[in-house]
Amino acid sequence: MAKKPENPNYKVIAENRRARFDYAIESDLEVGIILEGSEVKSLRSGQSNIAESYAEVKDGELWLVNSYIAPYAQAKTFGHEEKRRRKLLASKRELSRLWNATQREGMTLVPLVMYFNHKGFVKLKIGVAKGKKAQDKRETSAKRDWNRQKQRLLKQNG
C-alpha cells in the first residue's frame, strides 16, 4: 500500500519540549497568532524559541509573552521587535474558558508547539497546565524508563 504524500505546507517551527516535563497538561487549544511580515519570513527559516514564553489573558484578550522570533536580515527598515507581546486569536467562548482555568490555583497557559498548518498559516498550540512538583517529575521519569524497558523486553522475546 502506497504511503500518502505528506502535506508540504505543514512544518513545526518551534517546540517547547520542557513543557510536558515541567507541567501536567490538562487540555490544549490551537490558536492563531498576529504577526508582522518580517516575523513570518523569519519563521519560515525556522528561527524562533517558545521555551521561556507563556500565554496570558489580559483585558479580554489573549497574549503570548516572552516568545523570541529572530530578526529577519533582509527587512532592515521594516523589521520587528524580537521579544514583543503577540496577540493570539481565540473565540470568546475559548477565551472565557481559558480565563476561568487560569484563575484556579496553580494553573497557567503554556505554549506547546508553534507550526505552519496545512494552509500555511502560523498556529500555536497552548496547553492549560498545572506545575509539577519534584516528586511528580521523578514519577514521570520512572514511568517513562519503565515503558522503555518494557518495550526492550518485548522486542527481545518477540
pLDDT, residue 3, reads 56
CA separation for the pair 97, 135 (Å, rounded): 29
- pLDDT tens for residues 67-103? 888 888 777 777 777 788 889 999 999 998 888 888 8
% of the chain surpassing 90 pLDDT: 15
- pLDDT tens for residues 113-142? 999 888 888 899 998 888 777 777 788 778
pLDDT, residue 63, reads 92
Q: Do 110 and 25 contact (CB within 8 A), yes or no?
A: yes
CA separation for the pair 66, 111 (Å, rounded): 11
